[in-house]
Amino acid sequence: MKRLSDIRVSYEQILDFSKLHAFDGSFDPSGALTAGIFAPTGFLTNMLIFKGGVVKSLEKTIIQYDCDVSPDFTIIVQAFLYLNSYPDAQKMLWHYLTGDGEELSVDSERVFREDKALEEAMKDAVKEGLKKGQPGGYATFYQSQYSDQNWRNAFGTISIRWEKLGTMVQVWFDDTYAWHPNEARVTQALHQAMERAKKYGGKEFYYSGTRVQFYRTDFDDVRAEDTTKKVVTVP
């Protein structure tokens, strides 16, 4: 299993990637011309979909147009460069493109520390489960709920999981890194392009957070320890 923190990305790598796939034949001049002609119609259609929301309609139209007129490898490079401000999301994308589907481990303690909305959702899920006497459980955390854009772009929707171990509780999260080309959303065209990136070697992969240990009696203070450094004995 590879660790997210061990992934290294650079402009040189994405440049080499673009050179390798620059002449893949995915550019269609006639398709690009058609996209330009129908872009205004697409905007009006999106206005209806988003009930007059100009910003979302314009964003979806621009993304669709860009994906329609650009070769696939160019879209990939654009996405990589956009994520330059979100290093962990950029690493996740790079692993999708070049990691051959290898499972990935993420530092849960760091993620919970940096995204307070995710941390609060985790605490609420555990507290609710404990009140019901449950030995463990999970909660779905959606893309719109993040407070940190880096982790939002890195994960999207994830499952927060927890398990009671004696007087302690372990928490972590997991999901499969995948694009969703068939779901209607503002970035649907980008998802479709990233799904096509599988022809360049892109592969979906499972990732999970390291299991972080929380003492229930101190739960409001969220005192965490990495359980790989301490043996937990279950009564």
The pLDDT profile of the chain, 235 residues, written as one tens digit per residue, is 899 999 998 888 887 877 776 656 555 556 555 655 566 666 566 566 666 777 767 776 777 767 776 777 788 888 888 899 999 999 999 999 999 999 999 999 999 999 999 999 998 898 888 888 899 999 999 989 999 999 999 999 999 999 988 878 899 999 999 998 888 777 788 888 889 888 888 899 999 999 988 766 555 544 444 444 444 333 3
Q: What is the pLDDT of residue 127?
A: 87
Q: What is the DSSP string of 157-190?
A: SEEEEEEEETTEEEEEEEEEE---TTS-STTHHH
Surface-to-core class of residue 91, CB atoms within 10 Å of its CB (0-12 exposed, 13-18 middle, 19+ buried): buried
- Distance, C-alpha 203 to centroid of its chain: 14
Q: What is the pLDDT of residue 181?
A: 83
- In the chain, where the domains are located: 2-27+70-229
Place of tokens 């205004």: 40
Q: What is the pLDDT of residue 88?
A: 97
